[in-house]
Amino acid sequence: MLLLLLYSPSTVNIFRMGAAVEIKKGSYKLGEMAATREAYGKALLEVGALDSDVVVLDADLSGSTQTKHFAKAFPDRFFNMGIAENNMMGVAAGLARAGKKPFASSFAMFAAGRAWEFVRNSIAHNHLVVRVCATHAGLTVGEDGASHQIIEDIALMRAIPEMQVLVPADAQEAYQMIYASLDFTKPTYIRLGRAKVPVLFDENYNFEVGKANILTKGNNVTVIACGVMVYRAVEAAKILKEKGISVEVINCASIKPLDVETISKSVAKTKKLITVEEHNVMAGMGDAIASALLENNISGFKFKRMGVQDKFGQSGQALEVLDHYGLAVSDIVLEAEKMNK
Amino acid sequence: MVFDKQKVEAKAKDIRVNSLKMIHAANSGHPGGSLSIADILSVLYFGGQLKYDSKNPELNERDILVVSKGHSSPAVYSVLGLAGFFPIEDTISFRQFGSMFQGHIDRMRVPGVEMSTGSLGHGLSNALGVALGAKLDKNPKTVFVILSDGELQEGSNWEAFMAAAHFKADNLIAILDRNRIQLDGWTETTMGLEPIKEKLEAFLWDVQEINGHDVSAINEAISKAKAAKTQKPQFIIANTVKGKGVSFMEDQVAWHGVAPSDEDLTKALQELS
């Protein structure tokens, strides 16, 4: 009963072993352009004030990852580890062992790529709750080009036992995710982006680990997307609606654990599935979803994985690079039309 | 606490004997590097240098020991058993299916193990993290890490050496098991490490060099490291002999990761008795 009293409509309380973290909602307007990394920086500053156990590590990219705001406010709890990501992850594990709540940030290429084995052995194998908050993930790092465009991180991170893998679709979701992460009991990879994308969720949205959310209801085809591709899936659905194709768009922010129930129900209904991610189609979200569906006895559906088709990226403006690699709104429309012929 | 040299030496011998029994029973494991750190472990646990409570392994006031060379698990399990974290007799199940005593040390299974290690090059970073966390909490604990010499070839250690000095982690004491042998041969022919002392000093650590089998010297070096007022992390090069205590294992590359036969064990235990 006491717990119920703490509930208010504008907040969601998660209770675990007596600990409660109030997930605050971001003040974003629908359609406003914001990068998920910006929401991360904002939320990090706030949870830093909320919880003195929060510590942040960065590898000389605090200006880019947005940990700079926390660094300025809480210099004692901020560790700039220099350009040395392996040590950063090892130190983050040690800080967690000492009872701290570490957030370790770098570009996704270095956090998930360079430091993979440290995330695996120092953090995950030690069952230490470190939040690896990796920014500049995927093609939308843009101008930096292929060396920085990691399209393998979802695959790398979901392969680690017990590691949670989360990809927020917009600033609101990223913001709530950071609050929620204070209460996590498992190491977690949070994939954040550099590019500004439209805000899709208002303060009525409730992020929850393991839950996918249906953005538009539809009967003809299911489109499941994560990260920056979610707004494009929504755009595509609007166009398809005018063409008489009803699309069920699902935001799959929680890639691991996966919301098999929501996804299964939708695909069982539409019998057509398109997955869209700014990641290599190899071992990404699409593969995770397809495997889960088949294991859940959902079969006989048409299936297309949209993503990077096993190629390296290249320089260009974020959104134009996405377009080039077959991830334009029009590409989603085309695939859905093909499936519905 | 008065340093009881005889007791520490006796316990070091017990660590060696039990380690060899474990490896023999498992027919698998790493004798060389377990024997080389027996004296260091004994000084920490029985010489009064490491604060711990075997009945309350997570005691907040305890010191922390991270053993980065996780393959020296027989020595670690032996010292923890001798210190009362669990019955020492249990360690005979080492490396067997279902045993809590995994091939490389696992903190989720064995009380008293602070960090799971085994993949070389992690422990120093982990220990630094704990040290920085303790400093934030103004917890006066000392954080120890035992490093292998071969593992210094992993670049992450040098990232951590840099960072520990940068953050003035003077509550961190690294002890190097300088037994000069790694899996493929002598460290200096595999990938030369020397001059270690000068390298560490250049990385702004305080460095001492001692005989890693002289328990009094180990004890004094740790006391000196704890008392240092230089704001620097502390490094102790413990010159050791791989396979120390068993004549036919000493300085033999072949004994890095091979189990003793029945005959070898009998002979080894005779030498240690």
Domain of B83? 5-272
> What's at B262, amino acid-wise?
D
Residues 6+ apart with CB under 8 A from A96: A102, A123, A128, A129, A130, B129
Nearest-CA neighbor of B177 among B153, B142, B141, B213? B213
pLDDT in tens, B36-84: 999 999 999 999 999 999 999 999 999 999 999 999 999 999 999 999 9
CA distance A332 to chain B (A): 43
Residues 6+ apart with CB under 8 A from A272: A220, A221, A222, A301, A302, A303, A336, A339, A340
The predicted pLDDT at position B41 comes to 98
How many domains in chain B? 1
Structure tokens at A198: 């439209």
**Average pLDDT, rounded, for chain B:** 97
Phi-psi map region of A66: left, alpha, beta (phi>0 left; psi -120 to 50 alpha): left
Task: Give the 3-state secondary structure of A225-255.
Answer: ECCCHHHHHHHHHHHHHHCCCCEEEEECCEE
pLDDT digit string (tens) for chain A, length 341 residues: 334 333 333 333 333 344 567 889 999 999 999 999 999 999 999 999 999 999 999 999 999 999 999 999 999 999 999 999 999 999 999 999 999 999 999 999 999 999 999 999 999 999 999 999 999 999 999 999 999 999 999 999 999 999 999 999 999 999 999 999 999 999 999 999 999 999 999 999 999 999 999 999 999 999 999 999 999 999 999 999 999 999 999 999 999 999 999 999 999 999 999 999 999 999 999 999 999 999 999 999 999 999 999 999 999 999 999 999 999 999 999 999 999 99
CB proximity B115 to A under 8 Å: yes
Nearest-CA neighbor of A77 among A87, A98, A64, A86? A98
Contacts of A77 in chain B (CB under 8 A): 136
Judged by CB atoms closer than 8 Å, whether chains meet at A79 and B133 is answered as no
CB proximity A124 to B under 8 Å: no
The residue behind tokens 């957030």 is A103
Delineate the domains of chain A, giving CATH numbers in brackets: 13-198 (3.40.50.970), 213-339 (3.40.50.920)
Which among A82, A91, A122 is the nearest to B132, CB-wise? A91
Bridge partners, residue A54, by sequence = A101
Residue in A46, A85, A152, A248 annotated catalytic: A85
Judged by CB atoms closer than 8 Å, whether chains meet at A121 and B118 is answered as yes
Contacts of B128 in chain A (CB under 8 A): 87, 90-91, 94
Gyration radius from chain A CA atoms: 19
**Side-chain half-sphere CA neighbours of A256 within 13 A:** 26
Write down the H helix ranges in chain B. Answer: 5-26, 31-36, 38-46, 73-82, 123-136, 155-166, 187-190, 196-202, 215-227, 262-272
Name the band, by pLDDT with cuts 50, 70 and 90, for residue B2: confident
- State the Cα–Cα distance between residues A267 and A293, nearest whole angstrom: 8
Q: A52, A106, A121: best mutation site toward chain B, by most B Cβ within 10 Å? A: A121
Question: Can you tell me the mean pLDDT for B94-119?
Answer: 97
Q: Is A85 a catalytic residue?
A: yes
Judged by CB atoms closer than 8 Å, whether chains meet at B132 and A94 is answered as yes
The predicted pLDDT at position A1 comes to 33
- State the Cα–Cα distance between residues A16 and A13, nearest whole angstrom: 10
Nearest-CA neighbor of B32 among B272, B241, B219? B241
CA distance A127 to chain B (A): 8
Look up residue B255 and give its DSSP letter.
G
- State the Cα–Cα distance between residues A218 and B85, nearest whole angstrom: 60
Judged by CB atoms closer than 8 Å, whether chains meet at A98 and B116 is answered as no
The predicted pLDDT at position A287 comes to 98
- Give CA angle at B211 (B207, B216), nearest 5°: 100
Instruction: Determine the distance from the C-alpha atom of residue A181 to the mean position of all C-alpha atoms in its chain, rounded to a whole number.
Output: 13
Nearest-CA neighbor of A96 among A165, A181, A14, A154? A181
- State the Cα–Cα distance between residues B135 and A215, nearest whole angstrom: 47
- Per the CB < 8 A criterion, the answer to whether B129 and A91 are in contact is yes
SS3 B161: helix
Judged by CB atoms closer than 8 Å, whether chains meet at B125 and A97 is answered as no
- The predicted complex's ipTM stands at 0.97
Q: In what order do the strands lie in the sheet with A213-216?
A: A213-216, A247-251, A221-225, A272-280, A302-308
Residue window 69-108, chain A: list those with CB within 8 Å of chain B: 76-77, 79, 81-82, 84, 86-87, 89-100
pLDDT in tens, B83-106: 999 999 999 999 999 999 999 999
The predicted pLDDT at position A11 comes to 37
- State the Cα–Cα distance between residues A5 and A8, nearest whole angstrom: 8
CA distance B208 to chain A (A): 24
Structure tokens at A117: 């084995």
A324 to A108, A139, A142, A213, A303: CA distances (angstroms): 21, 10, 12, 28, 22
Task: Write the CATH number for B36.
Answer: 3.40.50.970
B104 to B75, B108, B109: CA distances (angstroms): 11, 12, 11
Q: Rounded to the nearest 5°, which phi and psi values hold at B114?
A: -85, -35
CB proximity B164 to A under 8 Å: no
A326 to A284, A313, A321, A323, B179: CA distances (angstroms): 16, 12, 9, 5, 57
Question: How many other β-carbons are positioned within 10 Å of the β-carbon of residue B136?
Answer: 17
